Chain A
Amino acid sequence: MTVLLAVSGATVLALAPSRESLPPTADFDARTAASPPAAPPVRAEDTGSPTTTPSASPVSSAAVPRWLDIERVGLRAAIEPRGIAADGSADIPEDPEKVGWYRFGPAPGEPSGSAVMVGHVDSRTGDLGAFAALFDVRAGDEVTVRRAAAPPVTYRVVARARVDKDRLPASAFARTGRPVLTMITCAPPFDAERGGYQRNLVVTAIPAAPTG
């Protein structure tokens, strides 16, 4: 019953002002909401190239992120380097308990740009994914990224926002600018006929101490 309502009620929900759906920490919303919507990436013709082997990450192997912790909300997830799915979206680990690091962008600890982690909010069986915990995150929460053979990098949460999935700001994947950690998952409403969750939850954190 609930499921049916949730699906068929999506239209009704869409009419609700999005501001109402913000968490109590609505001040979180300012940064991402103020960013311009992402320009659709140029879709270059894909000639297909089965002969390529995945490029090594530009990051030294020692700095590859391995574990993500947000202790206050009980989040601890293994990190897998991921690239792009066949449909052009960010590739996400099959295992909902793992999160993916967007390996074409900066790694945590790099001096500039947005290190992006993507993770499932749920699984096909109805269990919660690792990043469901992002819904509990508050400003000031400490995020720790443990790396393969380099000291951990610590961040502090400064912003949380929901955006329509097709309006995820390109700045979330910035390769230059101030160093940030951007954690992205999916958020309601859920509409099975339109591909599932219609929004993204975006949590932004900044280095707790100077990176080096």
Chain B
Amino acid sequence: MISRTPVAAAASLGLCALALGGAATAAAAENDDQAMVSVFHAVPGLDVDVYANGDELIPDFKPGTLTDPQPLPAGSYDLKVFKAGADPKGKPAIQKTVEVPAGANATVVAHLNADGAPQLDAFVNDTSDVAAGKARLTVRHVAAAPAVDVRAGGTPIFKDLVNPKEDTATVDAGTVSADVVLAGTDDVAIGPADLNLKEGTANVVYAWGSAKDKNLALKVQTLTGMHSAPSGVNAGATNDPDAWPAYAAGFGLLGLAGALTARRVVSRGSRA
């Protein structure tokens, strides 16, 4: 599972500090005791430093920023978020202990709760394969806002989603025009925005920000490599039971098929 997640850009990020013993490589992600972790800063107006188990994980993290997935040892992380430049021995702006299960692909989100207070939540990303031609769409409500519906092309696909819940569906690959409305209404809170849901990908859309401060926004996280092969190739005129199979109608160019038919006749004859 994990190995399917692209980690090409991984080395450039500060998460290395946590990945013990040079584990911040794609190869390390193959290990069973590893997890892939992204971090999304969804608290508007606050530049922060993020600490994990006392080590600085991400310095000067700007709102709206989402890190690429990084391999991390699975386990328990004591996460503390401070205003950028603040003394990490002081009282953090947000604190939470997060369990990162082995083999998981997870996104840790610093965000506002429905009432506007900052909090941390860890979401596990579904990286199981999708059927050929499909894409996975997940929406996470991490905004200081009431319950919402999420619509695609004007039709609700997720209803009554509340902070900090998520909902997921498998949809045809393609581009959808998505917006977020107050639950049960046509009052658009965010969007519309075009989402390009590529085949074989998982797309996580975060509704974040604050309704009161009028800075609600969408952030999209895309994970790739969940594609499947088609279920088969049906390349004959086979859907019509009255079809006349070409090889039986003198499939002469196939010396082979001719031989098969002949043998079939012989076999049948000898059985009869």
| Chain B residues with CB under 8 A of A122 | 236-237, 243, 245-247
Q: Are A188 and B260 in contact (CB under 8 A)?
A: yes
Q: Are B133 and A104 in contact (CB under 8 A)?
A: yes
| Chain B residues with CB under 8 A of A85 | 234
Q: Are B232 and A90 in contact (CB under 8 A)?
A: yes
Closest Cβ–Cβ distance, residue A95 to chain B (whole Å): 12
The verdict on A34 contacting chain B, using a C-beta distance below 8 Å, is no
Q: Are A44 and B130 in contact (CB under 8 A)?
A: yes
Counting chain A CB atoms within 10 Å of each CB, which of B129, B197, B254, B264 scores highest? B264
The verdict on B228 contacting chain A, using a C-beta distance below 8 Å, is yes
Closest B residue to A122 by CB, please name it. B246
The residue from B249, B256, B265 contacting A135, defined by CB atoms under 8 A apart: B256
Closest Cβ–Cβ distance, residue B253 to chain A (whole Å): 6
Q: Are A5 and B264 in contact (CB under 8 A)?
A: yes
Give complex CA distance A41, B228 in Å. Answer: 6
Give complex CA distance A56, B244 in Å. Answer: 36
Q: Are A192 and B241 in contact (CB under 8 A)?
A: yes
Closest B residue to A45 by CB, please name it. B170
Closest B residue to A47 by CB, please name it. B169
Closest Cβ–Cβ distance, residue A142 to chain B (whole Å): 20
B187-207: contact bitstring with A at CB < 8 Å (1 yes, 0 no)? 000000000111110000000
Q: Are A42 and B235 in contact (CB under 8 A)?
A: no
The verdict on A27 contacting chain B, using a C-beta distance below 8 Å, is no
Closest Cβ–Cβ distance, residue A111 to chain B (whole Å): 16
Interface residues of B in 152-192 (CB under 8 A from A): 152-155, 157, 169-177
Q: Are B232 and A166 in contact (CB under 8 A)?
A: yes
Q: Are B233 and A89 in contact (CB under 8 A)?
A: yes
Closest A residue to B178 by CB, please name it. A51
Closest Cβ–Cβ distance, residue B167 to chain A (whole Å): 11
| Chain A residues with CB under 8 A of B235 | 92, 118-121, 129, 131, 184-186, 197, 200
Interface residues of B in 215-264 (CB under 8 A from A): 227-241, 243-249, 251, 253-254, 256-257, 260-261, 263-264
Closest B residue to A84 by CB, please name it. B133
Which of A62-70, A143-151, A168-176 lies at the interface with chain B? A168-176
Give complex CA distance A3, B261 in Å. Answer: 10
Q: Are B131 and A88 in contact (CB under 8 A)?
A: yes
Q: Are A42 and B228 in contact (CB under 8 A)?
A: yes
| Chain A residues with CB under 8 A of B169 | 45, 47, 49
The verdict on A6 contacting chain B, using a C-beta distance below 8 Å, is yes
Give complex CA distance A104, B231 in Å. Answer: 14
Give complex CA distance A47, B168 in Å. Answer: 10
Closest A residue to B171 by CB, please name it. A49
Q: Are A49 and B157 in contact (CB under 8 A)?
A: yes
Closest A residue to B199 by CB, please name it. A104
Closest Cβ–Cβ distance, residue B63 to chain A (whole Å): 30
Give complex CA distance A56, B175 in Å. Answer: 9
Q: Are A41 and B238 in contact (CB under 8 A)?
A: no
Interface residues of A in 36-75 (CB under 8 A from B): 38, 40-47, 49-56, 58
The verdict on B89 contacting chain A, using a C-beta distance below 8 Å, is no
The verdict on A83 contacting chain B, using a C-beta distance below 8 Å, is yes
Q: Are A89 and B230 in contact (CB under 8 A)?
A: yes
Give complex CA distance A187, B34 in Å. Answer: 46
Give complex CA distance A193, B238 in Å. Answer: 10
Query: Could you list 12 further interchain pairs (A-B, Cβ under 8 angstroms) beyond the known A9-B265, A55-B175, A122-B245?
Result: A5-B265, A23-B256, A42-B129, A42-B228, A44-B134, A50-B153, A51-B155, A84-B230, A123-B246, A135-B257, A197-B236, A200-B232
Residues in chain B within 8 A of chain A (CB atoms)? 128-134, 136, 152-155, 157, 169-177, 196-200, 227-241, 243-249, 251, 253-254, 256-257, 260-261, 263-265, 267-268, 271
List, sorted by A's number, 7 A–B pairs whose CB atoms are closer than 8 Å. A49-B171, A51-B177, A58-B198, A132-B254, A168-B229, A184-B235, A192-B241
Residues in chain A within 8 A of chain B (CB atoms)? 2-3, 5-6, 8-9, 12-13, 16, 21, 23, 38, 40-47, 49-56, 58, 83-85, 87-90, 92, 96, 102, 104, 118-129, 131-133, 135-136, 165-166, 168, 170, 172-173, 175, 184-186, 188-190, 192-193, 195-197, 200
Closest 5 pairs (CB-CB, A-B): A196-B238, A51-B153, A84-B133, A122-B246, A52-B174
